[in-house]
Amino acid sequence: MLLTTKFLRPSADPRSVVRQRLSSLLDATEPKRLNMVVAPAGFGKTTLVCQWCAQSARPTAWLSLDEHDDEPRRYWQYVVGAFEANGLTGLEECRQALAHCSLQELEGPITALINALTADQSPWSLVLDDYHFIQDTRIQRQMSYFLDYLPPGVLVTLVSRTEPALPLARWRVRRWVQDIHPGLLAFSEEECRHFFHDTMGIALDESEVRRICARTEGWVAAMQLSALSGGGLENRPGESSVAGSQIDIDERRISDYVLSEVLEQQPEPVRNFLLDTAFCPRLCASLCDAVRGASNSQALLEQLLRENLFLIPLDTRNEWFRYHDLFREALLQRSRQLAPEEAEKKWQRVVDWLLEHGHVQEGIGQIVQHRDWPWLARVLAEHGNNLIHAGFHLQVLDWLDSLPSATLAESPQLLMLRVWALFFANRVELLDPLLNELEDKLDQQVADSHPDAEGALGLQSEISLIRSYLARSRSDEKSASDLTRQVLRDIDHTRIPLKSVTYYGLGLDYYGKGDLADAEEALKSSVRYGEVERKPSTVLSSGGLLAWIQYNRGDIDTALETCTTVRQWVDQHHSDPRQPMLISCWQNSALIEIYRERDQLQLAASYLAPLLDHVKSGTEPGQHVIIQFVRGHLAFSEGRYQDAIEVLEDAASVARRKRDQILFEPPACSALLARCYLATGHLNQAEEWMQQVNSETFTNPLNREQNQISVARVQVAMGRPQEATATLVPLRLSAEKDQHYRHLAEIQLVYSEALAAEGKDKEAEQMLTLALQRASEAGFVRLLAEESRTVQSLCLNLPALQAPGRWNRKVLTMLQELAEKAPATDKKPGKENAQLLEPLSQREIEVLELINQGLANKDIAASMNVAPTTVKAHIRNLYGKLAVGSRTEALAKARTLGLLN
Whole-number pLDDT of residue 493: 57
Arithmetic mean of pLDDT, 414-420:
87
Average pLDDT over residues 881-890: 82
The band of 659, judged by pLDDT with boundaries at 50, 70 and 90, is confident
Phi/psi at 426 (5° precision)? 65, 30
Task: For residue 12, name the pLDDT band (cuts at 50, 70, 90).
Answer: low
Q: Give residue-wise pLDDT tens across range 267-289.
A: 888 889 999 999 998 899 999 99
- pLDDT (tens digit, 9 = 90+) per residue, 228-242? 333 343 433 333 333
Q: How far is CA 800 from CA 344, 755, 781, in A?
A: 80, 18, 15
Q: Which of left, alpha, beta for 514 (phi over 0: left; psi -120 to 50: alpha)?
A: left
For the stretch 31-44, pLDDT in tens is 999 999 987 665 77
Tell me the mean pLDDT in the region 643-668: 84
Mean of per-residue pLDDT scores for the chain: 82
Tell me the backbone φ, ψ of residue 283, rounded to 5 degrees.
Answer: -125, 140
165: left (phi over 0), alpha (psi -120 to 50) or beta: beta
Q: Confirm if 57 and 78 have CB atoms less than 8 A apart.
A: no
Q: Which of 399-403, 530-534, 601-605, 697-701 has the lowest mean pLDDT?
A: 697-701
> Pick the residue with more confidence: 887 or 76?
76
Question: What mean pLDDT is predicted for residues 701-713?
Answer: 90
**pLDDT, mean of residues 437-463:** 66
Q: 168-220 pLDDT, tens per residue?
A: 888 987 899 999 987 687 777 777 777 666 765 656 677 766 776 665 556 65
Q: Mean pLDDT over residues 436-452, rounded?
A: 68
- DSSP state string for 691-729: HHHTT---SSHHHHHHHHHHHHHHHHHTT-HHHHHHHHH
Do the beta carbons of residue 523 and residue 542 sit within 8 Å? yes
As to burial, measured by CB atoms within 10 angstroms (0-12 exposed, 13-18 middle, 19+ buried), residue 295 is: exposed
Q: What is the 3-state secondary structure (H, E, C) of 384-401?
A: HHHHHHCCCHHHHHHHHH
Residue 466: enclosing H or E segment and its boundaries?
helix 453-473
Asked whether the beta carbons of 56 and 125 are under 8 A apart, the reply is yes
Predicted local distance difference test score (pLDDT) of residue 550: 93
Max mean pLDDT range (8-12, 716-720, 743-747, 820-824): 743-747
State the average pLDDT over residues 515-526. 90
Task: Output the pLDDT for position 474.
Answer: 66
Q: Indicate the pLDDT class of residue 826, thresholds 50, 70 and 90.
A: very low
- Distance (Å, whole) CA 581 – CA 571: 9
Listing DSSP states for 850-876 in one string gives HHHTT--HHHHHHHHTS-HHHHHHHHH
Q: What is the pLDDT of residue 637?
A: 92
pLDDT value of residue 231? 39
- The pLDDT confidence band at residue 577, using thresholds 50, 70 and 90, is low
Q: Picking from 243-257, 338-352, 784-798, which range would have the lowest pLDDT averaged per residue?
A: 243-257
Type of residue numbered 225: L
Q: What is the pLDDT of residue 596?
A: 94
Average pLDDT over residues 783-804: 86
Q: What percent of the chain has pLDDT over 90?
A: 29
Of residues 534 and 155, more confidence is placed in 155
Q: What is the mean pLDDT of residues 422-430?
A: 76
What integer is the mean pLDDT of 743-753? 93
> Residues 354, 356, 357, 360: what is their CA dihedral angle, to the nearest 10 degrees?
50
Q: What is the DSSP string of 330-367?
A: HHHHHHHHH-HHHHHHHHHHHHHHHHHTT-HHHHHHHH
| Position with higher pLDDT, 225 vs 51 | 51
% of residues, the chain, pLDDT over 70: 85
Please check the confidence at residue 452 and state whether its pLDDT lies above 90. no
Pairing of strands 177-180, 34-38: parallel
Which pLDDT belongs to residue 103? Answer: 85
Q: Is the pLDDT of residue 158 over 80?
A: yes
Three-state DSSP string of 18-80: CCHHHHHHHCCCCCCCEEEEECCCCCCHHHHHHHHHHHCCCCEEEEECCHHHCCHHHHHHHHH
pLDDT score at 827: 47
Region of poorest pLDDT, from 108-122, 401-415, 494-508: 494-508
Please give the Cα distance from 600 to 593 (Å, whole number).
10
- DSSP letter for 283, please: B
**Cβ–Cβ under 8 Å, residues 494 and 457:** yes
Predicted confidence at residue 234, as pLDDT, reads: 42
